[in-house]
């Protein structure tokens, strides 16, 4: 495996300070005795080199361990602390929200119950008012009906009294009619008697000359006889 290292890690100063032409591969001896293949053009001062195995290859192998460990520790710690704190805060917020919402909802329910109570009280007042109105109307109507009945009864009594008076009047009229009839009959009788008297008087008056003549004749006869 080729590993890129800096040119300063090469011990030979001649090789370390030499500029290499491109596309040339050299071999260099390191203190650990490792052989590295250096890509030409990259091994200038401050440039990187590829090294195969040896001590220089241990650093890249350690770096993943450090990075992995650090990443594990940092990520695990951060995740735990942040997640735990966030979860606690979120839960607390949820508790506050739930408690507040529940309190407001309960308060709203209490207000609704109060409104329901007021509505029930209003219904009771309405029932009471309806009862009072019904009582007043019924009482008033009953009184008026009773009064009208009393007036009708009084009217009936007056009608009976008037009927009695009419009956009494009829009796009086009948009595008067009877008296009048009797008087008329009496008058008729008187008229008839007067008529008879008048007839007799007329007859007497008519017969008077004859009587007088007869009497004269009798007197003359008596005179003749006396002579």
The confidence band for 79, taking pLDDT boundaries of 50, 70 and 90, is low
What's the rounded mean pLDDT across residues 171-196?
Answer: 74
Is pLDDT above 70 for 162?
yes
End-to-end C-alpha distance for the chain, whole angstroms:
240
Q: Which residues pair with 35 in a beta bridge?
A: 29
The confidence band for 95, taking pLDDT boundaries of 50, 70 and 90, is low
Percent of the chain with pLDDT over 90: 0
Number of CB atoms found within 10 A of residue 42's CB: 14
Question: Is the distance from CB of 25 to CB of 60 less than 8 angstroms?
Answer: no
For position 209, what pLDDT does the model report? Answer: 66
Taking only the tens place, the pLDDT of each residue in 138-147 is 666 667 777 7
Between strands 48-52 and 2-6, the pairing is antiparallel
Q: Of residues 129 and 40, which shows the higher confidence score?
A: 129
Question: Does the reported pTM lie above 0.75?
Answer: no
Interior/surface letters 70-107, b for 16+ CB within 10 angstroms, e for the rest: eeeeeeeeeeeeeeeeeeeeeeeeeeeeeeeeeeeeee
What are the residue boundaries of the structural domains of the chain, listed by start? 2-80, 81-167
What's the rounded mean pLDDT across residues 184-212?
Answer: 67
Between strands 26-29 and 2-6, the pairing is unpaired
Q: Which residues pair with 51 in a beta bridge?
A: 3
For position 179, what pLDDT does the model report? Answer: 74
The 3-state DSSP composition of the chain as helix, strand, coil percent (nearest 5) reads 80, 10, 15
For position 93, what pLDDT does the model report? Answer: 61
Is pLDDT above 80 for 153?
yes
E strand or H helix at 10, and its extent? Answer: none
The residue count of the chain comes to 227
E strand or H helix at 33, and its extent? Answer: none
d(CA 47, CA 49) in angstroms, rounded, equals 7
Q: Of residues 7 and 163, which shows the higher confidence score?
A: 163
d(CA 54, CA 57) in angstroms, rounded, equals 6
DSSP string, 40-52: TTT-STT-EEEEE
What's the rounded mean pLDDT across residues 146-162?
Answer: 82
């Amino acid at each position: 495996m080729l590993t890129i290292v800096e040119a300063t890690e090469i011990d030979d100063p001649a090789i370390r300070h030499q500029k290499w032409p491109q596309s040339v591969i050299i071999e260099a001896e390191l203190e650990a005795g490792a052989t590295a293949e250096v890509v030409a053009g990259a091994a200038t001062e401050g440039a990187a080199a590829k090294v195969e195995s040896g001590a220089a290859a241990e650093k890249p192998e350690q770096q993943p361990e450090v990075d992995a460990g650090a990443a594990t520790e940092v990520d695990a710690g951060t995740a735990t602390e942040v997640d735990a704190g966030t979860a606690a805060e979120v839960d607390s917020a949820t508790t506050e929200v739930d408690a507040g919402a529940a309190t407001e909802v309960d308060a709203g329910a209490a207000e609704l119950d109060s409104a329901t109570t007021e509505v029930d009280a209003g219904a009771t007042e309405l029932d009471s008012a309806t009862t009072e109105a019904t009582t007043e109307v019924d009482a008033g109507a009953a009184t008026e009906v009773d009064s009208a009945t009393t007036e009708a009864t009084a009217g009936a009594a007056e009608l009976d009294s008037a009927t009695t008076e009419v009956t009494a009047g009829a009796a009086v009229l009948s009595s008067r009619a009877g008296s009048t009839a009797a008087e008329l009959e009496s008058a008729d009788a008187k008229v008839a008697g007067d008529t008879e008297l008048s007839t007799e008087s007329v007859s007497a008056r008519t017969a008077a000359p004859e009587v007088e003549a007869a009497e004269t004749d009798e007197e003359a006869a008596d005179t003749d006889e006396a002579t």
